[in-house]
Structure 1
């Protein structure tokens, strides 16, 4: 997973911004994405992400110059030449490794509640002809539980009623106006879902993008700042 460092962007996007929709110099973004591909040893395939649950199976045509990549929030690859690339600023990136394939998912609360992780594991099992018990998952940096303020709609999306005191992964903390708000543990919610799938191992998920401004970009902290990437390829 990238941090702010190591790229060529300037100003608010310094220096490793890989996002095209944040008013950065397009040439700088292209070079930063090329840096990612060189580090992977594969063409990093960036998708238009829409906070959904669709999974894209990467194919050689996706790496062709000027290719139109379908909108999706996850992808899987069984081709060592095609790398999975997940853009993030506060949402959770989850990478998956199997013996014959890799995958990645963009898991904000909407996608997570909708089943993007489950869909990605199912797609990787089919593409790589493996079992869930053959897959390892790694959680990257995301907004941490001390910073992720949510409303009742988010609790309800995960099947939690706002009236439940001490709900797991949600801490009740009204805002300054006394309105009901909760602090949500996005990585914890993801880890619980992954554990239910019976994966071989789950790691990561211990870094907060909001609380480390010198290390990570954060959409909540700086909306027109940069975007990071979590990427993986098959050796």
Structure 2
């Protein structure tokens, strides 16, 4: 198994913690992602435990969720029993041609093999349908968040430049005239303010669900989480009680031609 596959398949072992601790998505970001969609039928692709699906349900759209990991899918079905939730992947979507008006992926598109997933997503989208990837990013313009990133390392945080590079690569693959995925117009990117109420302990638990942390050897993971816990305990903004973790929800949106 290559490194990318090892990371992408790591979440099932922590599905319960993922469901409890991972953030939702800024509603303004989800609304913007759906703005050009020609209808209300939305596929949450790589849906995980249903974080994005829950926001879509709250916005009143018709949601079908597709997730490859059985443990993550079980958590989604437990949390959102009214949502149609199917096993499947971005590379093999178990839906008919033209059956949805939008495909959204929350913190998932960077795991897709877009050379295969792009045509498959285009297949299930109605003409004029929308493809949007959403990512929650820690807002490192805030001083203590930038310090947390330095203390934690990329395995726990997933640095902003890494996420940006995934977006740029995906945008290039979706751009018109660039090969087998050239079924979408030029992608647009926007970021929306977001936040998550945390304590020091719950933020440590949140960061422990990152793929880079899940694949670490136990001694290394304990050491990294220990550094994070020490930092949060010594920082005025996070040392006592609840605080808001400053985040951004970034959106990459393209429309099917």
State the TM-score, normalized to the length of structure 1: 0.35
State the TM-score, normalized to the length of structure 2: 0.33
